[in-house]
Amino acid sequence: MDLLNTLVDKGLRRELPTREEALAVLATSDDELLDVVAAAGKVRRQWFGRRVKLNYLVNLKSGLCPEDCSYCSQRLGSKAEILKYTWLKPDDASKAAAAGVAGGAKRVCLVASGRGPTDKDVDRVSETISAIKEQNEGVEVCACLGLLSDGQAGRLRAAGADAYNHNLNTSEATYGDICTTHDFSDRVSTVQQAQAAGMSACSGLIAGMGESDADLVDVVYALRELDPDSVPVNFLIPFEGTPLAKEWNLTPQRALRILAMVRFVCPDIEVRLAGGREVHLRSMQPLALHLVNSIFLGDYLTSEGQAGQDDLAMIEDAGFEVEGTDTTTLPEHRRQCGDGAADEAAADAEAPATTVPAPSDETRRDLVSVRRRGAGTDLPPNA
Ligand code: SF4
């Protein structure tokens, strides 16, 4: 396919595809799927070899959020029967983190529900970061605490946070459809504050919320313009008790096409397969390793993932290797400077709108299990 040859050439040169090319990846047929995976896999191997970075989530504070993000089981008014607890003590968070590190995780992601942290919360998280770093040499710590206020990013950086996560989630045009309590620009501003404070920015998306192909391409280009170091790609976990509980729009094939598109647009950025991989990729998960260079190990914030040991076995069986702490994730050129993505993205043309197929009525509630173990419980974590 000319399209795929062009995209591989561009990916190997770190050149931004056009929006039409990105849309064309999403429009490929199932007959072309393995060719798409193979092409994006060449780009992945060029910049990240066969390495897979493992990340481990610790939910510091679960549920009872005043914001109304419709995809989220912790949102205002959520009826999802998730674990609800307030801030974990630094030692308890550190123990949870240590389980992930023992399982092979290189980065620990400390997440808290809520609109954003108070200054007292930042103090609390700073203590947790210190405890984790003291007890787990070489571990990277990413904080994910919501919208940041002035000065908080600098304080987290000073406390030892290596990275800050705040996802854009969906396109600017559709942001108001999924959340009314904050807007797209608030999210962009927090990512920029984290970057300005010297933290590695992590920002990604959620696919499967009823968005069009054009929306998906828009959010990926918006991310590329922000130039984060890592881009988590979540597939909506349709939690019972949330407004998006009936959004079962994704097939494994579509999920793979989305990951391939993200890889072509972000060739040398850490692309992380995040929440929903078990639910939507199912037995096709190993193919996704040819596209992403990073995954979460074990459980998610409020839902259970497959067993950590199964993650490790999947990586080995697929011919990949877990990235060690002695290896730097990003290619050399990205450690030194930005790559001009913002200019290229701004110069790119608008693409015609396309839409995803109508949602299927078939739901797979059996695939979504609320997390009942690990942080905030007396049961050992899955790592
Ligand atoms: S995504 Fe974050 S801010 Fe939004 S409802 Fe969930 S916990 Fe709250």
| Nearest residue by C-alpha to atom 5 in ligand 1 | 75
With respect to residue 355, please indicate whether it lies within any of the assigned structural domains. Answer: no
With respect to residue 366, please indicate whether it lies within any of the assigned structural domains. Answer: no
| Nearest residue by C-alpha to atom 2 in ligand 1 | 113
Which residues, in sequence order, are bridge partners of residue 296? 55
Q: Choose which residue among 72, 79, 175, 190 to substitute to test ligand 1 binding: the one with the highest number of ligand atoms within 8 A of its C-beta.
A: 72
**Model confidence over 288-317: pLDDT tens digits?**
999 999 999 988 888 888 889 999 999 999
With respect to residue 333, please indicate whether it lies within any of the assigned structural domains. Answer: no
**Model confidence over 327-339: pLDDT tens digits?**
899 999 988 543 3
With respect to residue 374, please indicate whether it lies within any of the assigned structural domains. Answer: no
C-alpha dihedral, 327 to 15 to 194 to 101, nearest 10°? -30
Among residues of the chain, what percentage have pLDDT more than 90?
A: 79
Q: Report whether pLDDT(107) > 60.
A: yes
pLDDT of residue 360: 54
**Model confidence over 135-159: pLDDT tens digits?**
998 999 999 999 999 999 999 999 9
With respect to residue 371, please indicate whether it lies within any of the assigned structural domains. Answer: no
pLDDT of residue 336: 54
**Rounded Cα distance, 320 and 327, in Å:** 15
With respect to residue 87, please indicate whether it lies within any of the assigned structural domains. Answer: yes
**Rounded Cα distance, 134 and 136, in Å:** 6
266 is known to lie in a ligand binding site: no
**Rounded Cα distance, 260 and 11, in Å:** 11
C-alpha dihedral, 89 to 94 to 99 to 103, nearest 10°? 140
- Tokens 């710590």 correspond to 141
Ligand 1 proximal residues by C-beta, below 6 Å: 65, 67, 69, 72, 74-75, 113, 115, 146
Provide the domain limits for residue 33: 2-326+341-350
**Model confidence over 45-58: pLDDT tens digits?**
999 999 999 999 99
Average pLDDT over every residue of 71-88: 90
| pTM for the predicted model, two decimal places | 0.90
Alpha helices, H only, the chain: 2-12, 19-26, 33-48, 90-102, 119-135, 152-158, 175-178, 184-196, 213-226, 252-265, 277-280, 285-288, 308-317, 332-336, 341-346
With respect to residue 361, please indicate whether it lies within any of the assigned structural domains. Answer: no
Q: Which atom of ligand 1 is nearest to the CA of 78?
A: 5
Q: Report whether pLDDT(340) > 70.
A: no
Domain count of the chain?
1
Pick the closest to residue 161 from 131, 141, 145, 144 (CA basis): 141
| Cα-to-centroid distance, 225 and ligand 1 (Å) | 24
Which residues, in sequence order, are bridge partners of residue 273? 233, 295
**Model confidence over 371-382: pLDDT tens digits?**
988 888 888 888
With respect to residue 364, please indicate whether it lies within any of the assigned structural domains. Answer: no
CATH number for the domain spanning 136: value is 3.20.20.70
Q: Report whether pLDDT(347) > 50.
A: no
**Rounded Cα distance, 167 and 144, in Å:** 9
* pLDDT, averaged across the chain: 91
**Rounded Cα distance, 170 and 210, in Å:** 10
Q: Choose which residue among 62, 74, 115, 303 to substitute to test ligand 1 binding: the one with the highest number of ligand atoms within 8 A of its C-beta.
A: 74
Q: Report whether pLDDT(59) > 90.
A: yes
